Structure 1
Amino acid sequence: IHDFEIATLGRTSEDVAEGLETGMFGMVEETLRDFNQSISISEYKDPRGMGFQLGERLIQMKAPHREYSILATGAGLDMPVTVHVAIGTDTVHMSQHVEPEALGSATFTDFRLLSSVICDLEGGVYLNIGSAVILPEVFLKALTIARNLGNKIKNFTTVNMDMIQHYRPHQNVLSRPGGKSYALTGHHEIMLPLLYQALLESL
């Protein structure tokens, strides 16, 4: 949602407390409409999944700030960007434009897509950045599927980056999967640019 709003509006923020008081929290019509119409019933069997559909929509609508969008960049480069939905947790689920069948099918496609990517994790790196519950759970299941299919995934690195370290990322990302693991604690606006610069200098 934040990626979509940054691409279309150039910002993503609102006063949650005030919005809750008036019943207007998350009720930005443009976001609710455009986000949900990107995942329409006519396209929910698209094998490229929800992330691609959202990114492609941003490109098609010529979102004015799409150069800052991970979704649009992924779609433009034909690289997988997956979206893992827990229905009821996002503001776009409050909209009359929601098509639940399309939503469920598209995010399930993205789960299968992520699982296929995890099949190639041997020798690679998985970063969990700021997700305390959903992505650690999704990662553990995707890793299980990849190993169940016979893929050797033993030598890899996992990293959890967050402002505080939570139980589930520690268990499901750093501890249970095996491999090397690192917990990096700090503010994202500081840590991510530092990581980016470190990667550039290592090339």
Structure 2
Amino acid sequence: MAFSRFDTSKIKVLPLGERSHDLDLTVIRELAPEECAYPHLATVTDRMRKAKEAGASVILMMGAHVIRAGVQRFIIDMMEQGYISCLAGNGACVIHDFEFALIGQTTESVARYIREGQFGLWQETGRINDVVRHGAARDMGVGEAVGKAIHEGYFPYKDISLFAAAHRLSIPFTVHVGMGSDIVHEHPNCDGAAWGKASYTDFLYYTSVLDNVENGVVMNFGSAIMAPEVYLKALAMVRNVAAQEGRTVNRFTSLVCDLKNLPDNVSAEAPRGNPDYYFRPWKTMLVRTVDDGGESFYVRAPHAETVPQLWTALNSNK
């Protein structure tokens, strides 16, 4: 059956210079220690140090609001010190990082531009599609292709780019997308097959890093669906192979930092029928996947607090 398809060639894409931006470089935080108000972060940083000593993986998963919080320098410094083995994010992470690196601004008013039919349709941002297509043709992941493009290209503010830093340091930044969920998928130059190939490559990169997480750390900052779901499937793959090889992948630490109110004891999931049962970071990352040898921690606070305080705790008492 032949269904009709929307003709993307009819779409009008405007220059970023015509867009009003909600965020600029003033949101980017400088490296400076902060008083640590959350004891769990100190515990997790101790595990990160031990993981580094043991050569175990430390994975930082994130939603795009981490980038919008302006804490890039803290994450980059932790990467440079060798405390992070892999970053993982969604497609919005690519967009905000790319725009910050290119023009020092990002984020548009959804309320305004969706009324005008212009939301997300900006020429320079659409270049990400070309980068991904070029990278997919060379068997690169999304993060790999974007990091290389920013690091090697003309991006005046590449010093705050997590993707460029990951490329420079040879650390994977894996990108896990759902087609249609990101503004670049609206553009006439979007190649869904390229995105699918490159994002699946990233999934396999991520799973390879997770295979070494015994005695390591997995952290999730603000991703309610992508992080727990990608982590869950990758962990199933890792444990499947480990069981065949006589290994276990059970003893590691998980940390979730988010804004949802959870009980002090997060070692037991909410009962069925409770809306909190469907908060995946809780039942997946804090309970089910660590209940046979791991340990989990939850910190309720904005990313503008948790990431700098994690960095502070990591750099204290060295």
Whether these two folds match at TM > 0.5 is: yes
Work out the number of aligned pairs and report it. Answer: 201
How far 1:45 sits from its partner (Å)? 4.7
Q: Which residue in 1 is equivalent to 2:206?
A: 114
Q: How do 1:20-169 and structure 2 match up within 5 A? A: 20-32=114-126, 34-40=127-133, 42-150=134-242, 151-164=247-260, 167-169=279-281
- Alpha-carbon distance between aligned partners in 1 of 2:312 and 2:112, rounded to the nearest angstrom: 38
Q: Which amino acid aligns with 2:131?
A: S
Q: Contact between 1:49 and 1:110, CA under 8 Å: does it hold in 2?
A: yes
How far 1:135 sits from its partner (Å)? 1.4
How far 1:168 sits from its partner (Å)? 0.6
Task: Indicate the larger mover: 43-52 or 18-27.
Answer: 43-52
- Percent identical among aligned pairs is 35
Q: Which amino acid aligns with 1:169?
A: P
Q: Contact between 1:3 and 1:71, CA under 8 Å: does it hold in 2?
A: yes
1:4 has 2:116 as partner: no
Q: Which residue in 1 is equivalent to 2:306?
A: 191
Unaligned ranges ≥5, structure 2 = 1-94, 262-275
- Alpha-carbon distance between aligned partners in 1 of 2:112 and 2:185, rounded to the nearest angstrom: 20
TM-score, with structure 2 as normaliser: 0.61
Q: Contact between 1:136 and 1:169, CA under 8 Å: does it hold in 2?
A: yes
> 2:218 aligns to what SS in structure 1?
strand
- Alpha-carbon distance between aligned partners in 2 of 1:100 and 1:202, rounded to the nearest angstrom: 48
How far 1:73 sits from its partner (Å)? 0.7
How far 1:81 sits from its partner (Å)? 0.7
- Alpha-carbon distance between aligned partners in 2 of 1:195 and 1:108, rounded to the nearest angstrom: 30
Structure holding more helix per residue: 1
Q: Which amino acid aligns with 1:54?
A: V
With over 3 angstroms needed to count, the CA separation of the structure-2 counterparts of 1:101 and 1:193, relative to structure 1, is: same
Q: Contact between 1:45 and 1:105, CA under 8 Å: does it hold in 2?
A: no
Q: Contact between 1:46 and 1:106, CA under 8 Å: does it hold in 2?
A: no
Unaligned ranges ≥5, structure 1 = none
- Alpha-carbon distance between aligned partners in 2 of 1:55 and 1:107, rounded to the nearest angstrom: 14
How far 1:9 sits from its partner (Å)? 1.4
Select the structure with the greater relative contact order (CA < 8 A; seq sep ≥ 6): 2
How far 1:202 sits from its partner (Å)? 4.4
How far 1:79 sits from its partner (Å)? 1.2
Q: Which amino acid aligns with 1:28?
A: W
> 1:152 aligns to what SS in structure 2?
coil
Q: Contact between 2:135 and 2:142, CA under 8 Å: does it hold in 1?
A: no
RMSD over aligned Cα, in angstroms? 1.4
- Of structures 1 and 2, the larger Rg is shown by 2
Alpha-carbon displacement from aligned partner over 1:115-139 (angstroms, at most 9, x marks no partner)? 0000000011100111011111000
